[in-house]
Structure 1
Amino acid sequence: MPTSFLEIVELPDGRIVLRRAEDEEVLVTLDFADPAKEFLHGQHVEVAKAMFNVGVQMAGRMVEGDYDLYDEDEEQAPRVLH
């Protein structure tokens, strides 16, 4: 993927997306449920920024070969991530 500027945008429907600045194709979408927004006292956009930041950093490390999440021996089934 060529290097480009990314932007975080809150859409009119409340979804928060990560996309390339030069087009409107959405790369990642975060959709906080109303109870989560209430719990975060309206700071869900700041949480989304942090989540996107960490995700982009991890993706960069994976591309550079510094981080390997895939284990060929693992069954490809849903996993609980916590």
Structure 2
Amino acid sequence: MLWRNLCAHPIRVAYCSPNPQALDRRCGEGLQPDNPFYTHEFEIAAEGVQARYHHQIMRYDYAVCPASPGVRITSTEGGGFLCE
């Protein structure tokens, strides 16, 4: 996956994948113990690019929010995301 920020300001991106080398929480905030997906989160500078590789993932649920102080991304029980 190649993530490209076309905005003039930094953004924060979060997505779910089965790669456990992510943040220490599962997608859905860990509400489903058999949930195999983990939350990944990173920032991309204004007009920047980041590459991420995850083997055999065909579908991603993701969120893109402004990378502003106080803006937080949370994942829902169903695997979606919210910018709060």
The TM-score, its normalising length taken from structure 2, stands at: 0.28
Question: Higher RCO, 1 or 2 (CA under 8 Å, sep at least 6)?
Answer: 2
Q: Which of the pair is proportionally richer in helix?
A: 1
Structure of greater Rg: 1
The TM-score, its normalising length taken from structure 1, stands at: 0.29
Q: Which of the pair is proportionally richer in strand?
A: 2
